[in-house]
Amino acid sequence: ELANPGPLAGFPPYPEPQMAALETLLDGVMARWGLGPDGVIGHSDMAPGRKADPGPKFDWRRLASEGRALWPASVAQGDRADWGRFAAAAGRVGYVEPDGGWPAVLEAVRLRFRPMACGRSLAAEDLAVLEGLGGRGGG
């Protein structure tokens, strides 16, 4: 379990020693269970609409740079996004529609990949992030 006060303290970054310890832990867990980077998810990915951690300041990009998580290969300016395309792309990377519907998944995607976009309506960039992930993994 990671410790971060989240919104109670303005979403501070996770401290370096904690991220380093997490990387060591992840290396062991991934090796032991044969997990690839697509198997490393956050509570917000597992329970969209119900969980928001690890939050917008968690350094997913850092984990991805060493193969410990997924990050989009590129995020091109996409076409106009619609909920049908978003749902299909989210499903391809492992998200399933929760009780809160696809808007809850949008919130989870943004918490992880586009935290500054939280609270806005569906955008082409949201679809581009999911498409940049490629195949299975992420949710």
Query: Which residues have C-beta within 8 Å of that of residue 16, sequence separation ≥ 6?
Result: none
For the stretch 36-77, pLDDT in tens is 999 999 998 998 888 888 988 899 999 999 999 999 876 666
Residue 5 within a domain? no
How far, CA to CA in Å, does 31 sit from each of 24, 35, 41, 62, 93? 11, 7, 16, 19, 22
Q: What pLDDT is stored for residue 138 in this prediction?
A: 46
Q: Looking at the 3D structure of the chain, how many domains does it have?
A: 1
pLDDT in tens, 79-127: 677 899 999 999 998 999 998 899 999 999 998 998 888 677 898 889 8
Residue 2, domain member (yes or no): no
Question: Residue 65: which domain range?
Answer: 11-132
Inside any domain, residue 6: no
Count of all residues that appear for the chain in the document: 139
57 belongs to a structural domain: yes
Q: Which letter does DSSP use for residue 68 in this model?
A: S
| Global pTM value | 0.76
Q: Is residue 84 part of a domain?
A: yes
Q: Considering the chain, what percentage of its residues have pLDDT values greater than 70? A: 91
Q: Is the separation of the CB atoms in 1 and 54 below 8 Å? A: no
Is 137 inside a domain boundary? Answer: no
